[in-house]
A and B are shown apart, each in its own frame.
Chain A
Amino acid sequence: EIVMTQSPATLSVSPGDRATLSCRASQSVSINLAWYHQKPGQAPRLLIYGASTRATGIPARFSGSRSGTEFTLTISSLQSEDFGVYYCQQYNNWPPLFGEGTKVEIK
């Protein structure tokens, strides 16, 4: 099965700053990569699919990119509602495994 490795495990960011999260797949997943944001006590919310397409209603400050098996989620100017845990997930192969998450916390 494909292993998804996210880094860093924790990211401390000040509101208004840029945040860059990474996700690496153990083998090719093409562009079949999604990013989700989860706040405590809530279900994950789809942010990005197809490595770089924003889901409906997602602000433009969220962007995704791909370089081979390396994927990046960038939040251009972090807002208070953006804190929480971010997961990447490949859906190229079954089972569609998630990474272990990056926790974005207030600096």
Chain B
Amino acid sequence: QVQLQESGPGLVKPSQTLSLTCTVSGGSISSGSYYWNWIRQPAGKGLQWIGRISTSGSTTYNPSLKSQVTISIDTSKNQFSLRLSSVTAADTAVYYCAREWGPADYWGQGTLVTVSS
């Protein structure tokens, strides 16, 4: 059973960079034709796709966030990561990592990141 777990700081100051890591267990991040995704959800609101990375390192980002986002993958550690630069209060949300092959079938439990001074 594949499991995903997000980790990283729960509090980030405005204008700084948010950094999160997703650790995949129960299977190799390199196996299969999957994409590894970051999705976020502000409190009480809907889901927003941030971006994804393939096992070969090819990335696709949401155009609305493209200038802020970098997603990377470390297959040796079975992890992938999100960096979101120049954050504001609008970036406060629960951040999820997920495995996707079209639909997203495995999700992490989510981690709350608050942007505040």
* A contact set with B: CB distance below 8 Å: 1, 32, 34, 36, 42-46, 49, 55-56, 87, 89, 91, 94-101
Contact = CB atoms under 8 A, between A and B. Distances in A.
A96 B49 CA distance: 7
A44 B47 contact: yes
A89 B103 contact: yes
B107 interface: yes
A21 B105 CA distance: 21
Contact of A101 (B46, B96, B98): B46
B107 A95 contact: no
A68 B41 CA distance: 29
A43 B49 contact: no
Given A43-B109, A43-B110, A97 B103 contact: no
Nearest to A101: B46
B102 A32 contact: yes
B49 A97 contact: yes
A62 to B, nearest CB: 14
B105 A98 contact: no
Interface of B: 46-49, 60, 62-63, 96, 98, 100, 102-105, 107-110
Contacts of B100: 91, 96
A49 B47 contact: no
Given A87-B46, A96-B49, A98-B46, A46 B63 contact: no
A87 B39 CA distance: 14
Given A87-B46, A98-B46, A43 B96 contact: yes
Contacts of B49: 95-98
Contacts of B98: 43
A46 B47 contact: no
Given A43-B110, A95-B62, A55 B47 contact: no
B24 to A, nearest CB: 15
Nearest to B47: A98
14 contacts: A42-B109, A43-B107, A43-B110, A44-B47, A45-B107, A56-B105, A91-B100, A91-B102, A91-B103, A95-B62, A95-B63, A96-B100, A98-B48, A98-B49
